[in-house]
Amino acid sequence: MTWTAGGGHCQTEVSTDLERQSSDCGAPGQPDNYLGKGHCTLIDHLGQWRDVSCEESRLTICLDVRGPNVTFVLINIPMTWTEAQSYCRANYRDLASVRNMAENQKIQDLVPAGGLVWIGLSRDSWKWSDGSDSTFRFWEAGEPNNYGYNQACVVADFNSFRQWGDRNCERKFAFICYSPLPKQELKLFKLKVEKSSSVDLDDPAVLENMLLTIKQKLKGLDENIQVNWKKQPDEKVFYKEKKTKDEEKTKEEEKTKDEL
């Protein structure tokens, strides 16, 4: 199946779009996630955005807030996107965020002619279809490369070292489904029994027979239910319950009545 069809087979509802970014400010052909590394955003002197590798060294626009006023500051120090973010957070508020075209224009006015400057928009291209936040990656050398600019899904090569590669989501491969492990919950119940003098409650055969009866009573409720005896420190399951003073008094009164 294709990646989308496989996801639909494994779960009832699928809402997985591994690379979706829309903007009215994107430069022509942008974003293109070139070589699968376009995770951070630059703005040019025309106010247009481009997605590039976060490791490029560029100037930065920081966001500063003074009371109700939001201002933008150009930092003339080439840095990677991560370095720029740390610098802006340490010295101002953060990397520049653009909420509307007016703010985009303010930032554009600060960009040197022909320049490209970091803003705060970034993305993690790869997300798990179940929404989990695992950061584990196992890419094959040279992957992901977004070959043909249309590889937005991931395969694992089990003929090699089980490493990953990005592929077009419309290609057909076998797929692997999973279901979460059932929730495990431990509950303790106290069982009170009355026995005849001839029954040994510590006899393994007696305990096994009682356990079998309990399991039969629970049959059909949940196939994952397991029932076992909890042994005391002395290896015994049952112990004689001590009677309270009121119970002893009641017993003596009943005995007296019987004698009368």
Environment class of residue 61 by beta-carbon count within 10 Å: exposed (0-12), middle (13-18) or buried (19+)? buried
Q: Is the peptide bond before 31 cis (omega within 30 degrees of 0)?
A: yes
**Over the stretch 218-252, which tens digit does the pLDDT of each residue have?**
776 666 677 888 887 777 777 777 766 665 566 56
Share of the chain above pLDDT 90, in %: 25
Q: Is the dihedral of CA 137, 139, 145, 148 positive or negative?
A: negative
11 Rama sector, left if φ>0, alpha if ψ -120 to 50, beta otherwise: beta
| Per-residue model confidence (pLDDT) at position 16 | 25
Of residues 29 and 2, more confidence is placed in 29
**Assigned CATH topology for domain 71-179:** Mannose-Binding Protein A; Chain A (3.10.100)
The domains of the chain are located at: 18-61, 71-179, 187-239
